[in-house]
Amino acid sequence: MALYSDKVMDHFQHPRNVGKMEDADGIGEVGNAKCGDIMRMYIKVDEEKRISDVSFITFGCGSAIASSSMATEMIKGKPIDEVLTLTNKAVTEALDGLPAHKLHCSVLAEEAVKAAVKDYYDKNGIAYDPETLKEGECAACHLNDVHADNP
């Protein structure tokens, strides 16, 4: 069995929505110095409160790039309320799985999306539940010190 699914390889080799967005309405950056992965997510929100455009820049492994790419595809065109329900599990499933030691990449993708929405809300004075958009660093990076053997 291959370590990575065809979808992971496709999104790694041909990532969608890559690049800096100069006129972004929200920017979220997450990462962890311990694992070295850093994701920056850019969102553009239209008057109907939908994600009209999204892009990312990721510094990390192939799984991190694939997770970022898939997350952008999953939220593009969606209402913000729906975007906030994106989970790392959904990203992993959409990629047809990730190796256990790479699951933190999907967690970072979820956190980057939520950080971009939080930034949009903050810039526009929109109230939100702090628990829903709580800032943190890659929670999965701390599970069993997953990066000790896999930098």
Decide: 5 and 97 in contact? Cβ < 8 Å: yes
Contact assessment for residue 50 and residue 79, using Cβ atoms and an 8 Å cutoff? yes
- The DSSP call for residue 98 is -
User: Cα–Cα distance between 9 and 95 in angstroms, integer?
Assistant: 9
Active-site hit among 35, 61, 138, 141: 35
Tell me if residue 35 is catalytic: yes
Catalytic-role residue among 61, 105, 138, 141: 105
Clarify whether 105 is annotated catalytic: yes
Quick check: 92 and 106 in contact, CB under 8 A? yes
| Residues with catalytic function | 35, 105
